[in-house]
Structure formats: structure tokens, C-alpha cells
Structure 1
Amino acid sequence: MLLKIKVSGSLVEACSLSELTDPCSKHIRVKQLRGYRNAKPVHLLKTDLVFVSGEELPNCWMEVNARGRRDSLARAS
């Protein structure tokens, strides 16, 4: 899956979709897309990445209790 680094706007490819969607993992291995050479994977924080469209990654991919927090916030208001 292609993603974009927030700060630089560079495109990267996620090495593992399961690693990307795992809320227990704060980092993900990605390959930078530069030229035609196969880049070595590097580790980046998920919080530094967005979809190519600029949209943030879903909370359920980032936080273990994302659903529980949302439900408790809804009940509190």
C-alpha cells in the first residue's frame, strides 16, 4: 500500500499490510520510492504517515483501545 510521509510528502510503500493495520505496532517498515532501485526497508512511526490523499490513518490502526475510547467519550458527553 502506498503512503505519504507527512513532513516531506515523499511516497513510501508499506512492506506489510498486517503490520500497518496492527494497533499494537507503533512503527512500520516501509520502502522509499526513489528511482528504479530496490530500497532497503526503514522503520517509521505510523503517526508520521498519511494516505496518498493526505487523509490521516484510521485510529483503529494506531491505538489499541481506539474503539473503547471513542465509546467512553460518547457516553461522557
Structure 2
Amino acid sequence: MLLKDQDTGKLVEVLSLGDLYSPRHDRVAGRLHYGEEPQDPAYFDKGKLRFASGEPLPRCWTDPHYRDAEVEAAHHHGKAA
């Protein structure tokens, strides 16, 4: 998958999709795409990666607590019943 580094605007080929999809991983292994030669793999901060369109990554890929409020509300609702 190709994403864009928001700081440089360069494309990053993500080499570890499992890390990308996991909200518990802050970084992903990838390779910058520029020039004629493939660049060496490096780690990239997921918070600085965007889709090529400029949209941010889904919150469920970046925030391990993205459902905490929903779970808490369901827990309290269940106790009230």
C-alpha cells in the first residue's frame, strides 16, 4: 500500500500492513518512493502518514482507545437495565 508522508509529500510503500492496521503500533516499516533506485526500508510514524488523497488514516488504525467511550456507555447502559 502506498501512503504519503505529510512532512515531505513523498510516497511511502508500507511493508507491514499488519502494523498499519493495528492501533497498538505507532510506526510501520516502509520504503520511500523517489528517485530511480528503491530506498532502504525504514520506520515511519503512522501519525504522519496520509492516504495519497491527503485524508488521514482511519482512527481505528491509529488509536487503541477509539472505542473506549462506546464500550463505557454500553457498560453503563447494561447496568441500568
TM-score, normalised with respect to structure 2: 0.80
CA distance in 2, matches of 1:50, 1:63: 15
- 1:35: Cα distance to partner? 2.6
Residue 16 of structure 2 aligns to which amino acid in structure 1?
A: S
CA distance in 1, matches of 2:52, 2:67: 24
CA distance in 2, matches of 1:11, 1:62: 19
Greater radius of gyration (CA)? 2
Equivalent residue for 2:28? 28
Which of structure 1's runs of 4+ aligned residues deviate more than 4 A? none
Deviations 1:1-43 (A, max 9, x none): 0000112111110001111011110011110002332221111
The count of corresponding residues between Structure 1 and Structure 2 is 74
CA RMSD of aligned residues (A): 1.9
CA distance in 1, matches of 2:58, 2:65: 12
Are residues 1:3 and 2:3 paired? yes
Q: Secondary structure at the match of 1:66?
A: coil
Equivalent residue for 2:12? 12
* Structure 1 segments unaligned to the other structure (5+ residues): none
TM-score, normalised with respect to structure 1: 0.83
* Structure 2 segments unaligned to the other structure (5+ residues): 75-81
CA distance in 1, matches of 2:33, 2:50: 15
CA distance in 2, matches of 1:40, 1:19: 18
